[in-house]
Amino acid sequence: PYVGPSAADILAKRRQYLSPSLFHFYSRPLHLVDGKKQYLFDVDGRRYLDAFGGIATVCCGHCHPDIVKAIVDQTNRLQHSTVLYLNSAIADFAEALASKMPGDLKVVFFTNSGTEANELAMMMARLYTGCHDMISLRNAYHGNAAGTMGATAQRVWKFNVVQTGVHHALNPDPYRGVFGSDGEKYAKDIDDLIEFGTSGRVAGFISEAIQGVGGIIELAPGYLPAVYSSIKKAGGLTIADEVQCGFARTGSNFWGFEAQGVIPDIVTMAKGIGNGIPLGAVVTTPEVAKVLTQRSYFNTFGGNPVCTTAGLAVLNVIEKEKLQENAHIVGSHLKNRLTSLMDKYEVIGDVRGRGLILGVELVTDRELKTPAKDETTHVMEMMRDNGVLIGRGGIYGNVFRITPPLCLTKEDADYLVDVMDYALSKVQQPAEITLRFLLC
């Protein structure tokens, strides 16, 4: 049994000593002590299916023995800064990562987080082009340092510090966007932004292929090819932020951008790539990478032996356990089952995403798409009470984000949907029951 500080003690210390901006999920915050595969355990030994932590920390499952062993062995041998001396861990992981990239994307820079990776990517685009103007999408999240906060485009994450240098384009959102699923129509907005908001030359364009924080919005088909061609014409570089949708998560591909048939100039990644260890990376072409020879670029812990050993172990586990294939098979099954809940519950406005990055948007009116924020909160709380943890996001906070570790099984997926079904039945009478009631 757990012996240690109670949830109340931890909350009191958080309030006194930690950032006042810290927030937690659930009205009764969850006090977790153990993790194993796709499951988490609280102080009382209750088990939860972790259907959210896959992006945040674990793509291969909590405390995967191969990854833990690799980290422990390397920690016992040597942990150090990255660049000053030779060590094989960073070189081996860079080689393995480069082998997963298409085209000429072969040069890897390591960082400690997604924010740092995107800061570096945007800086390289600016140095390479000699331009400052970047374009990102409304509803994007790219980080919380000065430059990336400028690229992030949701009011809730922005502080009035550095907002300049980034133009925010119309979001190619198939559900709420004005042009539905016509990616090419949204892409025209990029041409307009370049025409009216810049000198005609830009540093680049950054986007996710599936927006995570934004509420699992898969960019409308045809969008990225059209935009990449406009950006290239304006002399800019294209950056794919794969922090959430990369690393086998979409199942159909290893990288999110691949579904749109494009090859970016720069790819960034973080979160799950270290399975819980702080690790980020930027991959680009030798030609773009050269810009960093203009000065000295240094990151004390980016790519340190322990973190890159973890990264390599993650890639090996993805391969050995066929996790990309699993994301495809289990993710398709899960999406089908979630979609079938739409017949039963009017409150589900949309089910979307691919592989194991799925979203379920709740609305009080399907025509008006009015966000069902309270219902989202209730269902999330009730699912937790029944042993399933999911995330939420979207500009209105009404989208469930389902991003479990990639080892999720079909049985887990069924359990998740059954629990969501039960929770939804408590916030909305299933359609057939409403109908029977009306007929009486």
User: HSE-up of 81 (CA within 13 Å, CB side)?
Assistant: 6
Distance CA 76, CA 183 (A): 51
CB of 44 to ligand PMP, least distance (A): 30
In sequence order, which residues have a C-beta less than 8 Å from that of residue 337 and are 6 or more positions away?
413, 414, 417
CA distance 263 to 296: 28
Q: The tokens of 346 are what?
A: 């009017």
Residue with smaller CB distance to ligand PMP, 234 or 270: 270
Is 167 or 271 the residue whose CB approaches ligand PMP more closely? 271
Pick from 309, 306, 299: nearest CA to 110: 299
Under rule CB under 6 A, which residues in 127-156 are in contact with ligand PMP? 141-143
- Looking at beta carbons only, is 70 or 243 nearer to ligand PMP? 243
CA dist., res. 266 & res. 248, Å (int): 18
- Of 243, 281, 351, 389, the one binding ligand PMP by CB under 6 A: 243
How large is the greatest C-alpha to C-alpha distance in the chain, in angstroms? 79
Per CB under 6 A, the segment of 37-45, 241-249, 323-331, 427-435 that binds ligand PMP is 241-249
121 vs 423 by CB, closer to ligand PMP? 121
Helix (H, G, I), strand (E, B) or coil at 206: strand
Structure tokens at 5: 């500080």
Cβ at position 391, least distance to ligand PMP in Å:
11
Site for ligand PMP in 191-220 (CB under 6 A): 208, 212-213
State which residue, 55 or 194, has the beta carbon closest to ligand PMP. Answer: 55
Nearer to ligand PMP, 244 or 308 (CB): 244
**CA 90 – CA 96 distance, rounded (Å):** 10
Question: CA-CA distance, 112 to 132, in Å (whole number)?
Answer: 25
38 or 113: whose CB is closer to ligand PMP?
113
Contacts by 2-6, CB closer than 8 A, 24 or more apart: 2/33, 2/43, 2/44, 2/45, 4/33, 4/43, 6/31
Q: Which residue is nearest to ligand PMP (CB)?
A: 114
Q: Which amino acid is at 236?
A: G
Selected binder of ligand PMP within 35, 53, 54, 114 (CB under 6 A): 114
Site for ligand PMP in 371-430 (CB under 6 A): none
CA distance linking residue 155 with residue 163, whole number of Å: 11
Instruction: Report DSSP state, residue 400.
Output: E
Question: Segment contacting ligand PMP (CB under 6 A): 167-175, 236-244, 294-302, 424-432?
Answer: 236-244
- The answer to the question of residue 59 lying near ligand PMP (CB under 6 A) is no
Bridge-partner residues for 362, per DSSP? 348
Single out the residue of 119, 133, 173, 241 in contact with ligand PMP (rule: CB under 6 A): 241
- DSSP letter string over 5-72? --HHHHHHHHHHHS-TT---SSSS---EEEEEBTEEEETT--EEEESSHHHHT-SS-BT-HHHHHHHH
Query: Smallest distance, Å, CB 269 to ligand PMP?
Result: 9
Q: How many residues in the chain?
A: 440
From the list 38, 82, 87, 118, which residue makes contact with ligand PMP (rule: CB under 6 A)?
118
Closest separation in Å from C-beta 166 to ligand PMP = 14
Q: How far is the CB of 280 from ligand PMP (least distance, A)?
A: 6
Q: Closer to ligand PMP at the Cβ: 267 or 383?
A: 267
Is 253 a binding residue for ligand PMP by CB under 6 A? The answer is no
Residue 253 CA, distance from chain mean position: 15
In terms of CB distance, is 156 or 439 closer to ligand PMP? Answer: 156
Question: Is residue 113 involved in binding ligand PMP (CB under 6 A)?
Answer: yes
Q: Which stretch binds ligand PMP (CB under 6 A): 90-98, 218-226, 237-245, 337-345?
A: 237-245
Place of tokens 């050993």: 309
For ligand PMP, the closer of residues 112 and 428 by Cβ is 112
List residues near ligand PMP by CB under 6 A.
113-115, 118, 141-143, 208, 212-213, 241, 243-244, 270-271
